[in-house]
Amino acid sequence: MTRVEVFADIVCPFTHVGLRRLSEQRHARHVRLTLRVRAWPLEWINGTPLAPELLTREIQALRAQVAPDLFAEFDPTLFPLTSIPAFGLTAAAYNLDDATGAAVSLAIRDALFEHGRDISDQDVLREIGRRFGIEPLDLASAASAVRVDWERGKARAVQGSPHFFVGDRNWFCPSLDITRNGERFDIQLADDTMRDFYEVALASCDTPLADG
């Protein structure tokens, strides 16, 4: 079974698109893969929390140009001040097993981008965790788990969020071709890069998905 590893921030809308499209392709091809979503904390890398105004412009561009089916109920007024607690819930899920970790990672992004939830709110994280039988890590443990992933990403020369790795191959944001012109984002599907990524990530996955 192929192992796909991605370094990404939870609040990165480009990652949300990339993970959703990868999941769609995986189900369309009826294959399994192991997905490890690691923390790439942009608030630490940039030295400041991400601005909700910037993320809102990115999301508006994504919906208008390539992903009209996503970000249905995103609410910029509930944009999280930090991703660290949510990374901690993901780390707790991966401590259980890879499948639970991947499912929780996607569920947190759905809560933020599709349901307008504040994923820095501990009550929201506990609610998500209960669906999978896990509890969020305390803030110190969450920060420690994030730092482990961050150091691992730096050692692998991660360029940004999302950066995917499959074996000795890697792709930075393989689904999208993004150009920024001042306040405007021009976004297109990166068809050739995306096709190459899917072929490597999914073609060798020869274990069929169980029905349902």
Q: How far is the C-alpha of 190 from the C-alpha of 197, rounded, in Å?
A: 10
Average pLDDT value for residue range 199-206: 75
Task: Name the pTM for this structure.
Answer: 0.92
Average pLDDT value for residue range 37-57: 94
Q: What pLDDT is recorded for position 30? A: 84
Backbone angles phi, psi at 172, to 5 degrees: -95, 120
Q: What pLDDT is recorded for position 1? A: 67
Q: How far is the C-alpha of 30 from the C-alpha of 32, rounded, in Å?
A: 7
Q: What pLDDT is recorded for position 81? A: 87
In the sheet where 34-39 sits, what is the strand order?
Answer: 34-39, 3-8, 163-166, 169-172
Domains and CATH numbers, the chain: 3-202 (3.40.30.10)
Average pLDDT value for residue range 62-69: 96
Q: What pLDDT is recorded for position 2? A: 77
DSSP per-residue string spanning 42-102: HHHHSSSPPPHHHHHHHHHHHHHHT-TTS-TT--GGG--S-SHHHHHHHHHHHHH-HHHHH
pLDDT-based confidence at residue 207 (cuts at 50, 70, 90): very low
Q: How far is the C-alpha of 43 from the C-alpha of 46, rounded, in Å?
A: 5
**In this structure, is the dihedral angle defined by the CA atoms of residues 77, 83, 87 and 88, taken in order, positive or negative?**
negative
List the one residue out of 3, 6, 2, 4 whose CA is nearest residue 159. 6
Q: Quick one: DSSP state of residue 161? A: S
* Contact yes or no for 120/82 (Cβ under 8 A): yes
